[in-house]
Structure 1
Amino acid sequence: MKRLPLAAVLAVFTGWLLWSVSARQAALFVVGLGLGAVLAGQRFGFTTGWRMLIEDKDASGVMGQLLLLALAAALAMPLLGHYPELTAALGPPSVSLLVGAFVFGLCMQIADGCGSGTLYKAGLGIPMNAAILPLFALGSFLGSLHLGFWLDLGRSQPVGLVGQFGWERALLITLAALAAVAVAVGWYVRRASAAAGQAPRPLVVRKWMVGAVLLAVLATLNLVIAGQPWGVVYGFGLWAAKLAQASGAADLAHNWFWSQPGNAARLHETVLMDVTSITNIGILGGALWVSAGKPANARPLNGTQWAVALIAGLALGYSSRLAFGCNVGAMLSGISTGSIHGWIWVPLAFAGTIFGLRIRRHFGF
C-alpha cells in the first residue's frame, strides 16, 4: 500500500479509537505512530548501536542512546516529582532480573532486535523479525507464567531515585552517571582505534542525535498521556495470554502474575484499552508507513539460521518478562524515571550481547 492511502487508513482508525474507545487511547496510538516512524525512519536500533560499539568500535549509536536517556530523564523526572499520579518504571532487583537481562542481551543480537526493534522491523516487512514477533509474544507469556517462581529465588524491593532523593538530586545523579559512561565509551573507542592504527569514528552522527531527541519527546508524551512510562513487552505477553485464555489453553485465574488485580482486569478488557498494546500497534503502523511501497531489504537465511533465530526470539520474549522489560521498558524507561533496576539491567544485558555476537558470527548472520 502506498503512503497516502495508508495514512488515510491510519487516520480513520485513529478517529474510530477516539469515537469508540477513548481520547487517551487515540492519543497513545498517535504517539505510537510517531515512535514507529522515528525508529524505522532513523533506523534507531538499540541492538545495532551496541553491536556497532563492540564490532566496529563505532560509538555513535551508543552516544545517541545516552543522549536519549539524558533527555528523557530531564523531561520525566520533574514530571514525576510534581505529579504523583504518574508512575516510574520500577522493577525489583532480583535473581530474575540478573538472569533475564543477560539472556535478553544475548538473544537480541541473534534475533537482530530488542522489543521495539522487533516491532519496527516487522513493520518494515523484514521476514525474520515478522516471524519472531509471535514467538516473542509467546515467550513473554511463558515468562509471566513462571515469574513468581523466579522471584522466589531472591528479590528486594524496587528502588526509585526520585522517591529516595527528590527529582532534582535524582536527575543530577542520573546525568552524572550517563556523562561518566559517555566519557568511558569515548576513551574506549579512541584507545581501540589507536591500537588498530585507525582514525576514530565520529562520536556524534546526525541520525542518532535526531532520533534521540524525537524519541525522548515521544516517550515523555507517552508518560503524560498514559500515566506510566513507555513499555513494549507487556503488550506482547498480554496478547498471548488473551489467546491462551480464550482458547482454554491456560487457566490464569490462580497464576501469580495474571491474578494481580491490574493484570487480571486487562485480561477481561479489549486489548485496545491496554496502553502498552495500543502504542505497540502504533509502532507497527508507523514503521509500515515508512516502508510503504518499498521492498524490505533483508538478506535471505538458510534453514539453520532460521531455526536459531526463531529459538532466540522465543527466549527473547521469556527473558524480557524476567528482566522487567527490554531496552525500552528496563533501560530507557527504567533509567529515565530513576529505577535502580535499569542500571542493573544494562551491564548484564551488555555482557549477554558480547556472547550473543559470538553466536551470531558462528551461524553467519
Structure 2
Amino acid sequence: MNSGAKDRPSTSFSGVIRQNFATKISLCLLMALTIVVGANYGWRRGLLVVVGGLLGVALYYSSFGFTSAWRLLVFERRGAGVQAQLVMLAIAVTLFFPLLAVGEVFGQSLQGFVNPVSVTVALGAFLFGIGMQLAGGCASGTLFSVGGGDSRTLLTLFSFITGATVVTFHLPWWKTLPNLGAISLVDQFGWIVALALSLCVFTALFVLVGKFSTRETRSLVDDGPVDWLRSPWPLLWGAVALALLNATVLVLSGRPWGITGAFSKWGGHALHAVGIDLSSYPYWAEYDFGRSLLGDVPTTTSLGIILGAVASAGLLGKFNPTLRISKRGAITAIVGGLMMGYGGRLAFGCNIGALFGGIASGSLHGWLWLVCGFVGSIFGVFLRKQLGDGPYRNTQPQVEAAKP
C-alpha cells in the first residue's frame, strides 16, 4: 500500500500538539453535544450522540468502507472488505430480526427500514454507486473522512447535501413510477425462517467472494496483537462494532442508523435560513423549520461520527487537514457527491440506511439496492478512470491501485 505524506502519523512536536488538540477538542464537543441533546430531548437521544461518536471511531480505526471494498473485489480480486461487510450484515440480521419481531424494547417501539421495491430504488442505487466511486467515498466514508481532515471529502459532503436537497423537489414525480410495494422477509416468513434464509445467503456469498479472491493486502483478522487505541483495527473488529452499534441505534431511537435523510434536512434548513419559502413543495409542506436539527436522530449521530473520527485521527496521529486538492479531484468530488445525494434520497437511503438498514430490517428493497449499487459502482470506476482521476488513472496505475 502506498502511503502518502498525509497518511503518515505526525511525529514532530507541532504535529503531536495538533493531534492532541484535535482529540481533546473533539471529545469535549462530543460531550457538550451529548449533554445538550440529552437535556432537551431525553437521555436516549443523548446516548445516541455517544453511539454516533463510537460509530466514527469504528469506521476510522477499521477504515471500513464500501467504496474501496467493492472496487478492490472487482478490479483486483481482493475480497476481504466485502467479506467483512457480509459478516457485518449477518450479525445485524441476527440482532435485528428478533427485535423487530417483538416490536418493542424497554418501552421503545421498533420499526425497521422497509420500503417499496421500485424503479426509483434501482435507479437511485445505481446513481449512488457511480457517485461514490467518483467521489472516492460512500455516505459513512464521507463523514469519517471529513472528521479525519480530508479536504476533498468536504467538497463531497457539501455537494452530497445539495443533491439530497434538490431531489426533494422532484420526489412526487419519482413516486409515480412502478413499484412492487414494501416486502419484508420477516413479515412474509417469520423472523426465524427469514434469519435462516439470510444467513444461508451471506454464507454462500462469503464463500464465493473467497473463491474469487486471489490476493489480499488485508485480512479479516490481522496476525499478532492489536493496540485498540493506538493502531488500526482488523476489518472484523469494524464489522462487529458497526453491527452492534446499529442495533443500539435501533433500540435507542426505534429505527436503524441512517444518514441521507439528515442531509436533506440540513439543506432545507439552509434554504429556509436565507429566506426561501419551501412550503409550496409537498416534501416540505408539513415540515416544521422551527424545530432544532438537534432533535433529528440522523443529524445527531452524523455529527457524532464526525467528532468520533476527529478524535480517532488525533489518537492515531493522522489528523492533518489540508486544503490542497487538484481541479480534477474537486470536479469528481462535487459530481460524485451530487449523484450520491440525489440517488440516495431516490433509493430511500444510502449504503447505510437502504443497504445496511434495509437488509438488516429484512426488506427486499435493501437487496435491490445492493445489486444496483454494486453495478453502478463498477460503472463509476470506469468513468473515473476515463476522467483521468482515481486509483486506476493512467498516470500511476500500480502505485494508486492499492490505495483504500
Deviation at 1:69, TM superposition (A): 0.2
Please state if 1:258 is matched with 2:284. yes
Instruction: Name the CA distance, whole Å, in 2 between partners of 1:138 and 1:100.
Output: 15
The Cα offsets for residues 258-314 of structure 1, whole Å up to 9 and x where unpaired, read as: 34x6xx25x441100011111001001100111236344889542123112211211
SS at match of 1:120: helix
Deviation at 1:5, TM superposition (A): 4.3
1:52 to 72, 77, 83: 72
Q: Is the CA contact 1:58–1:203 (under 8 Å) kept in the aligned structure 2?
A: no
Instruction: Name the CA distance, whole Å, in 1 between partners of 2:382 and 2:368.
Output: 23
Q: Is the CA contact 1:95–1:151 (under 8 Å) kept in the aligned structure 2?
A: no
The Cα offsets for residues 84-123 of structure 1, whole Å up to 9 and x where unpaired, read as: 5211111211111111111110110110111111111011
1:248 to 252, 256, 275: 275
Q: Which residue of 2 aligns with 1:196?
A: none
Deviation at 1:186, TM superposition (A): 2.0
Q: Which residue of 1 aligns with 2:153?
A: 129
Q: Is the CA contact 2:98–2:191 (under 8 Å) kept in the aligned structure 1?
A: yes
Paired AA for residue 87 in structure 2: L
Q: Which residue of 2 aligns with 1:338?
A: 362
Q: Return the TM-score normalized by structure 1.
A: 0.91
Instruction: Name the CA distance, whole Å, in 2 between partners of 1:5 and 1:180.
Output: 45
Please state if 1:78 is matched with 2:98. yes
SS at match of 1:156: strand
The Cα offsets for residues 311-335 of structure 1, whole Å up to 9 and x where unpaired, read as: 1211111111011111111111100
User: In terms of mean alpha carbon deviation, does 16-25 or 270-279 score higher?
Assistant: 16-25
SS at match of 1:209: helix
Greater share of helix: 1
Instruction: Name the CA distance, whole Å, in 2 between partners of 1:204 and 1:297.
Output: 29
Relative to 1, partners in 2 of residues 1:8 and 1:233: Cα closer, same or farther, differing over 3 Å?
same
Instruction: Name the CA distance, whole Å, in 1 between partners of 2:127 and 2:191.
Output: 32
Please state if 1:36 is matched with 2:56. yes
1:168 to 184, 189, 192: 192
Instruction: Name the CA distance, whole Å, in 2 between partners of 1:73 and 1:356.
Output: 29
Relative to 1, partners in 2 of residues 1:301 and 1:54: Cα closer, same or farther, differing over 3 Å?
farther
Deviation at 1:21, TM superposition (A): 3.4
Instruction: Name the CA distance, whole Å, in 2 between partners of 1:135 and 1:299.
Output: 17
User: In terms of mean alpha carbon deviation, does 148-157 or 10-19 score higher?
Assistant: 10-19
Please state if 1:15 is matched with 2:42. no
Q: Is the CA contact 1:186–1:203 (under 8 Å) kept in the aligned structure 2?
A: no
Q: Which residue of 2 aligns with 1:204?
A: 220
The Cα offsets for residues 137-177 of structure 1, whole Å up to 9 and x where unpaired, read as: 11011112211211212223111111222211111111111
Instruction: Name the CA distance, whole Å, in 1 between partners of 2:323 and 2:189.
Output: 49
Deviation at 1:23, TM superposition (A): 1.2
1:271 to 269, 293, 302: 293
User: In terms of mean alpha carbon deviation, does 294-303 or 87-96 score higher?
Assistant: 294-303
Instruction: Name the CA distance, whole Å, in 1 between partners of 2:29 and 2:48.
Output: 17
Q: Which residue of 2 aligns with 1:68?
A: 88
Instruction: Name the CA distance, whole Å, in 1 between partners of 2:150 and 2:202.
Output: 33
Please state if 1:220 is matched with 2:247. yes
Deviation at 1:178, TM superposition (A): 1.3
Q: Which residue of 1 aligns with 2:389?
A: 364
SS at match of 2:170: helix
Instruction: Name the CA distance, whole Å, in 1 between partners of 2:22 and 2:353.
Output: 32
Paired AA for residue 255 in structure 1: Y
Instruction: Name the CA distance, whole Å, in 2 between partners of 1:201 and 1:38.
Output: 20
SS at match of 1:93: strand
Paired AA for residue 62 in structure 1: V
Give the gaps of 5 or more residues in structure 2: 1-20, 223-233, 391-404
The Cα offsets for residues 177-229 of structure 1, whole Å up to 9 and x where unpaired, read as: 1112212222222xxx3xxxxx6777634411110011111000000001001
Q: Percent same amino acid among aligned pairs?
A: 35
Q: Return the TM-score normalized by structure 2.
A: 0.82
Relative to 1, partners in 2 of residues 1:250 and 1:48: Cα closer, same or farther, differing over 3 Å?
farther
SS at match of 2:291: coil
Instruction: Name the CA distance, whole Å, in 2 between partners of 1:315 and 1:215.
Output: 25
Q: Which residue of 2 aligns with 1:97?
A: 121
Instruction: Name the CA distance, whole Å, in 2 between partners of 1:129 and 1:302.
Output: 13
Instruction: Name the CA distance, whole Å, in 1 between partners of 2:142 and 2:258.
Output: 13
The Cα offsets for residues 228-274 of structure 1, whole Å up to 9 and x where unpaired, read as: 011010001111011212323242x3433334x6xx25x44110001
RMSD of aligned Cα (Å): 2.0
| Corresponding residue pairs, total | 352
Instruction: Name the CA distance, whole Å, in 2 between partners of 1:116 and 1:183.
Output: 26
Q: Which residue of 2 aligns with 1:3?
A: 23
Q: Which residue of 2 aligns with 1:326?
A: 350
Instruction: Name the CA distance, whole Å, in 2 between partners of 1:4 and 1:304.
Output: 35
Relative to 1, partners in 2 of residues 1:258 and 1:299: Cα closer, same or farther, differing over 3 Å?
closer
2:44 to 17, 24, 32: 24
Q: Is the CA contact 1:47–1:108 (under 8 Å) kept in the aligned structure 2?
A: yes
